[in-house]
Chain A
């Protein structure tokens, strides 16, 4: 079996699956259960200064899509609402009992040097393996000039990172907010401040839905609602893009990444690793199904690595990055065509109507009495893949790459007014 052990920013864990800083890592009871279930590490839910924050009742809103629950999850919970001393004592006990697991502590205190200087030794004394700076919380805390309010200003990111590196010997992971135009700016700032690693993405600012009876955004708190942070399967594409952007940036390629955002199974995990992550943080999937999901995550990842001949996690990390290019680098001569397996086709007609109404009129609808038949018109097919995506039968519509005659990108294309001429 492939070796899933990871070393991330100097922190070792038996596998790359960590629980992200969130309700599942709020206290000793949960974290012990998580470690017993097999999680390689946890990032303890964000600690702040005393007196602790106060949380509201009614905290989550979920996106249900065609019967699938929690395709996306939004929360308006703040950081830990328990006294600092309680958390510190629990962290210490758990780390003592699980020395082989990664235990990282998430922190968020006001943007003042003395605040950070005060809390760091307290955390260091627990024996925790590292700290993660919560520069991402997009609700509540950001309105108090913390969380995303810091993460959105690269100068603050660099400044606070530097303080932390100055006042602790623990590795410093900077957790980035996706609520920003260019993720490279805060990532560079973190590196400049001396960060040992970054983790991303934190949640995305969102209104999950509107309660049409209460006429208020959800979750409804006493008749009102507020924006929250969005996570879960729906945010995975956004996370993959931001992680890939950092991983392929020449200046940032040495910065380890802990990937976060909608990871629910081993396949998601493999994709995050391929796009540059070294460790993986999970929350929504565990909140949906419990800690036991890690069993198949670790087992599935390991078996997949075996099947591909990858001996360790490091062999997968960044594997797709050389092929993650800018649009202008894509070969315009490449062509792929839809193929319908007529024996597998169940005649639902979804490929036809999708193509007919919204794409290229490239799937013909043929009738012979009661028999329906859908056929690709090669001359009209642009290889957009839409039919293959809407088809409800696995493997019924496949995309068949055609022989390619050389390479021509937009950079050289005659239609490009600013083309490169040889």
Chain B
């Protein structure tokens, strides 16, 4: 083992990097979209629609593509899901709409390519139609939305549509949340996240305040005092630690930060190890591992503590990792980080197996070592209730508690997205934001009537 840290930028030429970070799944052409749209059976009570957390009328938007009514198609998507463009790119459609497609019953493994068609329509709208919604008469109400990720953006847009003014806060300098900072670059290539935010904000009435951390720069109570309502969509700001000595070594970092670095910088300026070990079994682990490979890492190993069937990354994501040259190792838990002269050199894993009671049993005597210049931790993100400290907001199981109308325990404060319980999916966050906005609008109008 060498004692020289081998984490550098520019392992590949700029040409190779631009190729590696181009669109992972290029858009359908018009004729391809027409052919694919004609495959849709236009089901009644369509299973795909039910499988979509935002409940997009999928048969209707696909039929509209088939008839050449692209503006109508896009509107059908966007009125259910204003982030339909990014959802078309990042949704695990293989476990949502496309898994439910009845074509699977006709031709196994060949559902209608709903995600690709959704992208076709929303791309058309963004290129040709611009923002399709107009604001209702202004209400004079002001709502603060904290967190400018998918949930916050969806909420802000819907509130603006209903005529309310929105102040949108985020700790980052730019809006977009995970779409801007947390998803693999090739999934939202060509600056899509920023373009989509601009498209969404074009409705007007939304003012973005970047670099503001609620709980540090402004208290929740103060926000509640300034605005007629507050929507919290702060996501999961914390990451889990391995709990091993040496986690502060150079080269040991969390995958979320690594991905944020990839997303925020020119790819030639992103340092990456020659030998990279990613620990975790979710889509974040896959996004980190594949991007490390595409930055030029020689060896990338994704190590997961249990079996393939337990991984939260979908089969499509796992295959994506493997076809990108990532080695996947299962049933192994990190035991010890190795270093020489303060430089990370490797990591020791204990092999495990499923125990009788279903829990994994690891055997410290049966271990293996992976040489590593870089270890990326992707073992889960957690809710950081920083903004709620000192406030009387109920938190349970590490997430903010809300009722069916997205109301927290604090009056006038709503929450949605990853910071509440439920699936941690972009599309579910969009639904939360949209539905919370509807609830806020209803409450504000009811209050207005009482006052009037």
Contact = CB atoms under 8 A, between A and B. Distances in A.
B45 interface: yes
Interface in B10-64: 34-35, 38, 41-47, 50
B404 interface: no
Contacts of B50: 370
A393 interface: yes
B66 A349 contact: no
A353 B44 CA distance: 7
A130 B105 CA distance: 54
A349 B102 CA distance: 10
A368 interface: no
A44 to B, nearest CB: 38
B44 A350 contact: yes
A413 interface: no
Nearest to B42: A350
A393 B44 contact: no
A350 B43 CA distance: 6
B66 A372 contact: no
B66 A347 contact: no
A349 B45 contact: yes
B222 interface: no
Interface string B90-109: 00000000000011111000
A66 interface: yes
B41 A365 contact: no
Counting chain B CB atoms within 10 Å of each CB, the highest count among A346, A350, A393 belongs to A346
B38 A350 contact: no
Contacts of A101: none
A372 B105 contact: no
B15 to A, nearest CB: 39
B35 A347 contact: no
A370 B100 CA distance: 10
Given A66-B66, A392-B106, A348 B43 contact: yes
A188 interface: no
A139 interface: no
A67 interface: yes
A347 B102 contact: yes
A392 B44 CA distance: 13
A349 B50 CA distance: 14
B106 A393 contact: yes
Nearest to B46: A349
A217 B169 CA distance: 57
A348 B35 contact: no
Interface string A363-407: 001000010100000000000000000001100000000000000
A294 B81 CA distance: 52
B38 to A, nearest CB: 3
A86 to B, nearest CB: 40
A392 B38 contact: no
Contact of B47 (A345, A347, A353, A393): A347
A352 interface: yes
Contact of B105 (A347, A349, A370): A347
Interface string A39-76: 00000000000000000000000000011000000000
Interface in B100-121: 102-106
A352 B44 contact: yes
A348 B47 CA distance: 8
A347 B46 CA distance: 8
Contact of A350 (B41, B47, B104): B41
Interface of A: 66-67, 345-350, 352-353, 365, 370, 372, 392-393
Interface of B: 34-35, 38, 41-47, 50, 66, 102-106
Top 5 closest pairs, chain A to chain B, by CB: A346-B105, A67-B38, A349-B44, A353-B44, A346-B102
Given A348-B41, A350-B42, A365-B45, 8 more contacts: A67-B34, A67-B38, A346-B103, A347-B102, A348-B43, A348-B102, A393-B105, A393-B106
22 contacts: A66-B66, A67-B34, A67-B38, A346-B104, A346-B105, A347-B43, A347-B47, A347-B102, A348-B43, A348-B46, A348-B102, A349-B43, A349-B46, A350-B43, A353-B44, A353-B45, A365-B45, A370-B50, A372-B45, A372-B47, A392-B41, A393-B106
